[in-house]
Structure 1
Amino acid sequence: MAKVAFLGLGVMGYPMAGHLQAKGHEVTVYNRTGAKAEAWAAEHGGRAVATPAAAAEGCDFVMACVGNDDDLRAVCLGETGAFAGMKPGAIFVDHTTVSAAVTRELSAVAAEAGLGFVDAPVSGGQAGAENGVLSVMCGGNQAAYDAAEPVIAAYAKICRRLGESGAGQITKMCNQIAIAGLVQGLAESLHFAEKAGLSISDVVEVISQGAAGSWQMANRYKTMEADTFEFGFAVDWMRKDLGICLDTANETGASLPVTALVDQFYKDVQKMGGGRWDTSSLIARLRKLG
């Protein structure tokens, strides 16, 4: 068992930190809104502190799951940042979905300070975090990954190292690119069935057993049919992730025409007031169009 700090207690981080504590690790938490950290400590029995540096002090591993590049820099750097409190040889594990550029930047800073750094974005959404069955895609030094993997296992269904620093973030981009087109296709399929006068449930029962079947179809078609979008990953966060994908594609020369199109469809959903709706809300856009 290890001494672990967890920075960021949103819909993902809160249950992830809980799994670490439940597995017997000694967990200290930090959250920008201190009341949430105190609530977590009251529920799980860990310890809440006021700064990332205080959380990291004496820990073997520091996990983070925050919002974006700037949020990650804020919890890592400066006098109150985690790097300032970490002991030599400790390993920072970043579960945030951020750019590969900021990952490589912070990994280099960590290495200069004698710290390990693993980029380890996750897929599986809030339900995956709550049930401890996330897919974790990692980049970084092999030795740092090997040390961190048994700790990550507290909330992972699968955890793999894909390469050096930034490889985990690139893989998460692949994940989001695949999801974007898939959800739009599902939304169009269900909308088409609806407009043709067919039962969505009956259609899905049949086509889900063939090549069209997917996790999104199995887990979201009922809520899409009901025009209810209070589940899973928010549109605002998806647009942030797709922006990272598109920026990286410009840097690498990759062509992402479908991703770029779906990003604009999500922009339309935001204009409808759906920024906090889950990503399956693409069907609401189609219904509005008629």
Structure 2
Amino acid sequence: MKLAFIGLGVMGFPMAGHLQQAGHDVCVYNRNADKAADWVSRHGGTSAGTPALAAKDADMVMLCVGNDDDVRAVVYGDDGVLAGIKAGALLVDHTTTSAILAEELAVAANKVGARFIDAPVSGGQLGAENGALTVMVGGGEADVAEASPVLAAYGKKVTRLGPVGAGQRCKMVNQICVIGAVQGIAEGLMIAKKAGLDIPILIEVLAGGAAQSWQLQNRAQTMAEGEFDFGFAAQWMHKDLGICLDEAEQQGLTLPLTEHVHKVYETLLADGFGRCDSTVVIKSLES
């Protein structure tokens, strides 16, 4: 298929590469043109000077940018995706955004004869590089069925959760569960370190019981050692939790743990830890 991929960050760069390697004809766009040129030199394909030009004649257009405002910046306007997308094409947003934006984009795409699905991902940079992401999709059944074989280039599991917006709401649940695990591990490690327990042995023991989790097995050791220069940035988790809290407010819900950890990240960002891995929450306990 002829595809366009908008956004070549730590996730988008390898994701677009997997599409090209799967045999698709991929045209990329990135705000930093040098990044797009680097992608082309590594993977082949082509690049375009605007999102509209990248989307021109594409059967599917994928987005993977930063937040709601970034999505609107590349979708709307004379140079935006919707100015270049052809009738019948499918717009796929991998960005973690509000569900409200997903519903807005579905309406906007429909107005120009295109279709839309929201498809946020989980698995982090490593999952993107290994083509092993979990893709949570909201959209019409036929649209998701059409997109799924293409998204399988980087998604080990591509699942429809419901209509447009359902993918984003599933991602909200994912992020809340992740920070719950990370906060628990951080607090547990404080006791373990104070008691002088052997951390590698501790992790091995816990991994064999009910406390087992991806976060425990992949992040507990680095948390204990104070290593945070990798993985999913704290600034993005802070953004994602803000989306979760906005959704909760709209539903008349209170999320105490999410509110607490959101405030922790707010302080960490102010202290200059925004680019650190999101497990940097342990620093708030150490201080």
**Fold agreement, TM-score > 0.5:** yes
Q: Which amino acid is the alignment partner of residue 255 of structure 1?
A: T
Distance 1:48 1:278 in 2: 30
TM-score normalised by L of structure 2:
0.98
Q: Does 115-124 or 137-146 show the bigger shift?
A: 137-146
**Shift in Å at residue 261 of structure 1?**
0.8
Q: Which amino acid is the alignment partner of residue 260 of structure 1?
A: E
Partner of 1:155: 154
Q: Which amino acid is the alignment partner of residue 263 of structure 1?
A: H
Partner of 1:104: 103
Q: Structure 2 unaligned runs (5+)? A: none
**Shift in Å at residue 57 of structure 1?**
0.6
Distance 1:147 1:45 in 2: 25
**Shift in Å at residue 272 of structure 1?**
2.8
**Shift in Å at residue 223 of structure 1?**
1.1
The secondary structure found in structure 2 opposite 1:154 is coil
Distance 1:254 1:97 in 2: 21
Question: Runs in 1 of length 4+ with deviation above 3 angstroms?
Answer: none
TM-score normalised by L of structure 1:
0.97
Matched, 1:118 2:117: yes
**Shift in Å at residue 191 of structure 1?**
1.4
**Shift in Å at residue 271 of structure 1?**
3.0
**Shift in Å at residue 255 of structure 1?**
2.4
Partner of 1:262: 261
Q: Which amino acid is the alignment partner of residue 253 of structure 2?
A: A
Partner of 2:249: 250
**Shift in Å at residue 196 of structure 1?**
1.3
Matched, 1:196 2:195: yes
Partner of 1:20: 19
Distance 1:250 1:74 in 2: 26
Matched, 1:221 2:235: no
Distance 1:12 1:271 in 2: 25
Partner of 2:229: 230
**Shift in Å at residue 283 of structure 1?**
1.3
Partner of 1:7: 6
Q: Does 264-273 or 105-114 show the bigger shift?
A: 264-273
The secondary structure found in structure 1 opposite 2:136 is strand
**Shift in Å at residue 140 of structure 1?**
1.1
Deviations 1:20-56 (CA, angstroms, capped at 9, x unpaired): 0000000000001111001100110110110001001
Matched, 1:68 2:67: yes
Partner of 1:271: 270
1:41-56 aligned at under 5 Å gives the runs 41-56=40-55
Aligned pairs, how many?
A: 287
Distance 2:253 2:240 in 1: 16
Q: Does 260-269 or 245-254 show the bigger shift?
A: 260-269
The secondary structure found in structure 1 opposite 2:226 is coil
Deviations 1:163-184 (CA, angstroms, capped at 9, x unpaired): 1110000000000011111100
**Shift in Å at residue 117 of structure 1?**
0.2
Q: Does 155-164 or 254-263 show the bigger shift?
A: 254-263
Deviations 1:214-246 (CA, angstroms, capped at 9, x unpaired): 000100122112101012111100010000000
The secondary structure found in structure 1 opposite 2:227 is coil
Question: What is the root-mean-square deviation of aligned Cα atoms in Å?
Answer: 0.9
